[in-house]
Amino acid sequence: MTWTLYRHFKGNQYLGLGTALDSELKTPFEVYRCLYENDLAKNWVRPLEMFEGRNEHGQARFESVARMRVVQPEDEATVLAFGYDAWGEGKPLSEFLASYEKSRNHLRGTRYLLELLDGTIVCNLNTLRFKRGLLGIASVSTAPAFRGRGYARLLLKAVMELQKFHEGEDLRFLLFSEVNPELYESCGFYVLGKEHQRFTPSIAMASGSSPLTKEEGEFLKAYF
């Protein structure tokens, strides 16, 4: 499945969840979800004609900006190479890519990628399913030529919102940041206390605001 990501003309970003037919009017509606906090509602519907239409200034109301999908076997070499400069440790690229065949997190995870509308793959990340209600994020990487354009943040938000749509708003995410935590703070994560910082310089972070439960802390210990 492929999900389209949109930018509203006022600037907010949305995840397209699909279209649905109104049971009474028999007209199609777009179903979509906010990629930002919205106290009123996260999921919205709007008549498809209006969703695809233009505002009174002639601007597209919702502009497609990229697509998200699950990484397929044929995408793997492309997306794994995005992290080569950061994690390659001087190995040849072929050796670096082959090392994923033995990576526990790679093997147990589900990867998502972000592609531009012309099909260029620009970013990817891995999700680790720990238990019901608890997911890990790992190996966020953007193609070097496409960094600094907001793609990592967009993909992260879209993956998190898709998972919350399926599992509920209380779903918690864990991760270890190897970069300035601001990237993840802007997506709703906070830096965990010293007692959880076992893999420095990577910084342990969690989404939400409540402290980790004992069980969540145990999953964090066994992350790698």
Binding residues for ligand COA (CB under 6 A)? 82-83, 86, 123, 140-142, 147-153, 177-180, 182-183
Least distance (Å) between residue 158 CB and ligand COA:
12
Place of tokens 């940041």: 177
Closer residue to ligand COA, CB minimum distance, 138 or 212: 138
| Least CB distance to ligand COA at residue 224 (A) | 13
Strands (E), the chain: 2-8, 13-21, 28-34, 43-47, 62-70, 110-115, 121-131, 134-142, 172-177, 189-191, 203-207
Tokens of 116: 């531009």
Q: Report, in Å, the least distance between residue 39 CB and ligand COA.
A: 24
Q: Between 24 and 37, whose beta carbon lies closer to ligand COA?
A: 37
SS3 159: helix
CB-nearer residue toward ligand COA: 28 or 99: 99
Q: 30 vs 207, which CB is nearer to ligand COA?
A: 207
CB of 125 to ligand COA, least distance (A): 8
Q: Which is nearer to ligand COA, 134 or 158 (CB)?
A: 158
Q: Considering the complex, state which of residue 152 and residue 159 has its C-beta at the smaller distance from ligand COA.
A: 152
What is the C-alpha separation between 90 and 101, in angstroms, rounded?
18
Q: What is the rounded CA–CA span in Å between residue 58 and residue 165?
A: 32
Place of tokens 């003309």: 9
**Beta strands 134-142 and 121-131: pairing type?**
antiparallel
Q: How far is the CB of 151 from ligand COA (least distance, A)?
A: 4
Supply the minimum distance, in Å, between the C-beta of residue 177 and ligand COA: 5
Strand partners, 5: 15, 66
Can you tell me the distance from the alpha carbon of 161 to that of 159, in angstroms, rounded to the nearest whole number? 6
